[in-house]
Structure 1
């Protein structure tokens, strides 16, 4: 009887917490289901400027990935089963093809956003339209959900949330199979016991149920000085309890995450922290799932990144949408217009 080899999946995420964390959580779910499955994750760094990121980052790592996988498959106890590739790393499909295995694209945004991507691509391929002409245009596009020869797309979503978008994708015979595998959440974050987390939890423990508005705009979200002052004024005047994750802008032409202010008083209105003491807390990094899970949190002002959206839905906290960049605008549109479960900015 031939020996059964362990199946090895190669995961290739893109740098960035919003992409990396759900990829890691999906890998954990898979390995928990079958002890014969193992996963190798390639962690790529980004020492290049943002304007070159999309064009050169993935290509610059292809040789490194190819060599590493070649070395791995020389181990006779390992059977290479396939590649799971982030949606921004699709040129890595070339490497999977060289090894004769399947590739699955992991889409870390919504099903509706994936449908929009396919629709814009079809306008270019089938109707020969220059889709860049729609930039800053008032034209209305009819998008089916709100072409790549791969076995399928894995989406961090679930049927009850995006039934319409998922049906639209499944009805299109030009699109490979789409597998909703979510919600994939980093729920164990609520067990974080560092000092900052303890102080945040102590503050929330002292507040009445559903009384705190939580403001957080993702790992890359930040505002300039004038915007910070206006938000602070609005928070003070509204009179509600709040917890505000305030981040400092990252250096210009850098892909580093925004950092924390050593002293929030330097960017807030004079006396703001003193006047709001007792019912507010300004923090830097936020243990988001733990905060959203806390009974004192009754609202979430969010940038509408997809991970944050899923976490808020999971915890049952209403969202006030303040989309900022990338797919957040279409996420907010879907939440406000299609699903009607949050208010817009």
Structure 2
């Protein structure tokens, strides 16, 4: 049996690292010829992430596959950090790590029992690593932890805007009322839900770099499944372009642990609640409240709880959960679908606005609190405040009658998401197609 090894490079963020590792597990369990080394870099912005990474590398779970290896690389920060916009900083940050990537891969290849290097799987944000793959003479595939519809948006965005003569960084563009058609979406997309990556001037170079992924990569692995985004997946296959492999939903059912929250057993609290009676509010690893007014805690003590970190997957899997108010990160959307829980949309940043649009208008499996609420990348500020009436309506709608159309669709997609991962399911087949392609490129 011919053995091969792959190098994975995730972007330093929870929403990127965890699905990358879960995809590596999926791949080596699918095909025993492969071993995978994940090259991890510390985040320049998130100390909590760094602490998690260090614990993961130093004390991996006993269930961690033996053919999956984690390597923490030295951290090299760009000079004159204060003079960089965050977008240009990240460009320089990944470029500065090229020597560390080269050295780590050279060490892998020089090992006495090292299997031949078959290729790289590189996060969409880490475009300089594609140059390193070229130096080693192996193919590099992009790993895209968001959905296929958003991938289509990114790959077409700058071409479409330039063709239309649109300046997307104009002060009031996102409030212009303009709408644009993209092949990966059934409906025209309003500018108000465009992600900040393509709206803020300082991010233009960075976002253009990973919009060009389809020109650098030999294929793109997408964390989605065909039955969820059939139109978007078909939009790639119909134009004869770069191969796209929908292999999801790639989920970490256990999720990262947080010992600081082990003093309160939220699952035990849920066990005491009636079926489908609890509305879960969670805004991801970067969403938080500056403070919670103590009067609110007193008023709601008998009907709810407020906690810090939450084991999201285990909560969504619980029968007491009837609805989910979410920031609409893609990993969270996939978890809510997998466990059959309808979502009320309250996006914050990144591509979450377009995800919310996708969920409500395209897939029709969510209800709207807001589609265009956003906090800035730089300081998290937001002048608009969502009114209580909008929030209440969204909450009531998502908790509406147990057998409404949205809930029926989510339950149906939940079953399809599980079948997609099973043997001979669509994602299982696409993973095999990816393996065949990368082995034939050697």
Q: TM-score, normalised by structure 2?
A: 0.63
* Aligned pairs (5 A) from 1:106-117: 106-117=143-154
Preserved CA contact (<8 Å) 2:130 2:216: no
Matched, 1:340 2:364: yes
Provide the C-alpha distance between the structure 1 equivalents of 2:164 and 2:128, rounded to a whole number of angstroms: 24
Larger displacement relative to structure 2 (133-142 or 38-47): 133-142
TM-fit CA distance, 1:188: 3.1
Which residue of the other structure, out of 340, 345, 359, is the alignment partner of 1:321?
345
Match of 1:257 in 2: none
Name stretches of at least 5 consecutive residues in structure 2 with no aligned partner. Answer: 45-76, 186-213, 370-442
The structure-2 alpha-carbon separation of the partners of 1:139 and 1:275, relative to structure 1 and needing over 3 Å to count, comes to closer
1:124 deviation in Å?
6.0
Asked if 1:69 is matched to 2:93, the reply is: no
| 1:74-153 equivalent positions in 2, closer than 5 A | 74-76=110-112, 77-123=114-160, 130-133=167-170, 134-146=173-185, 147-153=214-220
The match for 2:223 among 129, 148, 156 is 156
Segment drifting more, 81-90 vs 147-156: 147-156
Structure 2 counterpart of 1:222: 288
Match of 1:239 in 2: none
Residue-by-residue CA offset, 1:227-278 (whole Å, 9 max, x unaligned): xxxxxxxxxxxxxxxxxxxxxxxxxxxxxxxxxxxxxxxx333432222223
Alignment partners' CA distance in 2, 1:114 and 1:80: 28
Gap change, CA 1:303 and 1:209, over 3 Å in 2: same
State the Cα distance separating 1:125 from its structure 2 match: 7.1
Residues 198/277 of structure 1: CA separation in 2 closer, same or farther (3 Å cut): closer
- What are the residue-to-residue correspondences of 1:1-345 with 2, within 5 Å? 6-47=3-44, 51=86, 52-76=88-112, 77-123=114-160, 130-133=167-170, 134-146=173-185, 147-173=214-240, 175-189=241-255, 196=262, 199-224=265-290, 267-345=291-369
- Structure 2 CA distance, aligned partners of 1:277 and 1:82? 54
SS at match of 2:310: coil
CA distance in 1, matches of 2:334, 2:350: 17
Q: Is the 8 A contact 1:87 1:105 kept in 2?
A: yes
1:55, distance to aligned residue in structure 2 (A): 2.0
Residues 46 and 57 in structure 1, CA contact (< 8 A), matched pair in contact too? no
Kindly provide the CA deviation profile for residues 155-198 of structure 1, in whole angstroms up to 9, marking residues without a partner as x.
0000111011111122123x311100000111134999986386
TM-score if structure 1 supplies the norm length? 0.80
Query: What CA distance in whole angstroms lies between the structure 2 residues aligned with 1:160 and 1:281?
Result: 36
Structure 1 residues 46 and 192, CA gap change in structure 2 (3 angstroms): closer
The answer (yes or no) to whether the contact 1:190–1:289 under 8 Å persists in 2 is: no
CA-based RMSD of the aligned residues comes to 2.3
SS at match of 1:81: strand
Separation in structure 2 between the aligned mates of residue 204 and residue 80 of structure 1, nearest angstrom: 47
List gaps (5 residues or longer) in structure 1: 225-266
User: Is the 1:197–1:287 Cα contact (8 Å) retained in structure 2?
Assistant: no
Once residues 216 and 184 of structure 1 are traced to their aligned partners in structure 2, the CA distance between those partners, rounded to angstroms, is 20
Greater shift in the superposed pair: 53-62 or 192-201? 192-201
How many pairs align? 299
Whole-angstrom CA distance in 1 between matches of 2:335 and 2:238: 28
Cα 1:118/1:211, change in 2 over 3 Å? same
